[in-house]
With several copies, the nearest count.
Chain A
Amino acid sequence: MKLAFELETYKSEIKPTWCPGCGDYAVLNALQHALTELQLEPWNVLIVSGIGCSSNLPHFLSTYGFHAIHGRAVAVAEGAELANPDLHVIVTGGDGDGYGIGLGHFIHAMRRNLDLTYIVMNNEIYGLTTGQASPTSEMGMKTKSTPIVGVIENPIDPIALALSAGATYVARAFSGDVKQMSELVARGIEHHGFSLIDALSPCVTYNKINTYDFFRKRVYDLNKEGHDPGDLKAAFLKALEWPVMQRDRIPLGLFYRNDKLPTYEDLEPAYKKGNPVTQRLGVEDADEILNEFL
Chain B
Amino acid sequence: MSPHEIVFRVGGAAGDGVSSTAESFAKMCARSGLHVWTYSSYQSVIRGGHVWTQVRGSPEPVLSHGTEPNVLVCLNQQTMDVHQGEVPEGGAVVYDSDLVKPDPAKVRKGARLLGLPLRKLAQTITPNGIVRNTVALGAAVRLYDMDFAQVEAAFKDIWGDKKPEVVEQNVRAAKLGAGEVEKAGGSLRFGIPFSHEPRYLMTGNEAVALGALAAGVRFHAQYPMTPASSILHWMAAHGPAHGVVVKQVEDELAAMNMAVGAGHTGVRSMVATSGGGFSLMVEAIGQAGMTETPLVAVLVQRGGPSTGLPTKTEQGDLNLALGAGQGDWPRGILAPRNTKECFDLTAKAFNLAEIYQTPILVMSDLYLGEGFRTVDRPDFNVPIVRGMVAADGGVAAGRYQRYAYTDSGVSPRAFPGMKGYQYTAATDEHMENGDLISDVLAGLPEFVEERRKMHEKRMRKLEGLRKDMPPPELWGSPNADLTLLHWGSTWGPAHEAILQVEEKQGLHVNSLEFPSLFPFHAEETLRILKEVKRTLAIEANYTGQFSRLLRAETGYKPDFSFLKYDGEPFTGREIAERILEVVA
Does residue B284 face the partner (Cβ distance < 8 Å to A)? Answer: yes
Residues of B within 8 A of A17 (CB): 45, 47-49, 439-440
| Interface pick from A121-129, A222-230, A240-248, A249-257 | A121-129
Does residue B24 face the partner (Cβ distance < 8 Å to A)? Answer: no
Instruction: Report if A145-B236 is in contact (Cβ < 8 Å); known contacts: A18-B47, A64-B422, A75-B261.
Output: yes
Q: Which of B30, B221, B283, B381 contacts A79 (CB 8 A)?
A: B221
Chain B 547-584 near chain A by CB (<8 Å), digits 1 or 0? 00000000000000000000000000000000000000
A67 to B426, CA, bound (A): 5
Interface pair A283/B287, CB less than 8 Å apart: no
Does residue B249 face the partner (Cβ distance < 8 Å to A)? Answer: yes
Does residue A214 face the partner (Cβ distance < 8 Å to B)? Answer: no
CB distance from A17 to the nearest CB of B (A): 5
Q: Which of A14, A83, A100 contacts B262 (CB 8 A)?
A: A83
Q: Which of A68, A76, A83, A283 contacts B219 (CB 8 A)?
A: A83
Residue of B nearest to A83 (CB): B262
CB distance from A265 to the nearest CB of B (A): 10
Interface pair A277/B267, CB less than 8 Å apart: yes
Residue of A nearest to B257 (CB): A75
Q: Which of A101, A274, A286, A294 contacts B243 (CB 8 A)?
A: A274
- Count chain B residues whose beta carbon lies closer than 8 angstroms to a beta carbon of A: 95
Does residue B302 face the partner (Cβ distance < 8 Å to A)? Answer: no
Residues of A within 8 A of B236 (CB): 144-148
| Interface pick from B102-110, B121-129, B208-216 | B208-216
Interface pair B47/A59, CB less than 8 Å apart: no
Instruction: Report if A294-B31 is in contact (Cβ < 8 Å); known contacts: A130-B46, A145-B224.
Output: yes
Q: Of A72, A75, A282, which is in contact with the most chain B CB atoms at under 10 Å from its CB?
A: A75
CB distance from A26 to the nearest CB of B (A): 16
Residue of A nearest to B206 (CB): A293
CB distance from B234 to the nearest CB of A (A): 9
Instruction: Report if A13-B427 is in contact (Cβ < 8 Å); known contacts: A19-B47, A146-B248, A273-B242.
Output: no
Residue of A nearest to B287 (CB): A69
Q: Which of A18, A87, A281 contacts B215 (CB 8 A)?
A: A281
| Interface pick from A28-36, A40-48, A191-199 | A40-48
Residues of B within 8 A of A147 (CB): 233, 236-237
Residues of B within 8 A of A269 (CB): 240-241
| Interface pick from A102-110, A166-174, A181-189 | A102-110
Residue of B nearest to A86 (CB): B417
Residues of B within 8 A of A108 (CB): 249-250, 254
Interface pair B198/A294, CB less than 8 Å apart: yes
Which residues in window 28-81 of B have CB below 8 A to A? 30-31, 44-49
Residues of A within 8 A of B200 (CB): 290, 293-294
Instruction: Report if A76-B422 is in contact (Cβ < 8 Å); known contacts: A17-B440, A18-B47, A282-B380.
Output: no
Does residue B190 face the partner (Cβ distance < 8 Å to A)? Answer: no
Does residue B251 face the partner (Cβ distance < 8 Å to A)? Answer: yes
Chain A 142-170 near chain B by CB (<8 Å), digits 1 or 0? 00111110000000000000000000000
Residues of B within 8 A of A115 (CB): none
Residue of B nearest to A57 (CB): B424
Q: Which of A56, A66, A82, A84 contacts B439 (CB 8 A)?
A: A56
Could you list 17 examples of A-B contacts with CB < 8 Å? A17-B49, A47-B424, A58-B424, A64-B417, A67-B426, A67-B428, A69-B307, A77-B261, A78-B258, A83-B263, A100-B251, A126-B224, A132-B229, A135-B250, A148-B240, A270-B240, A270-B244
* Residues of B in contact with A (beta carbons under 8 Å apart): 15, 30-31, 44-49, 157, 198-202, 206, 210, 213-216, 218-219, 221, 223-226, 229, 232-233, 236-251, 253-254, 257-269, 276, 283-284, 287, 291, 306-307, 377-378, 380-382, 384, 399, 415-428, 434-436, 439-440
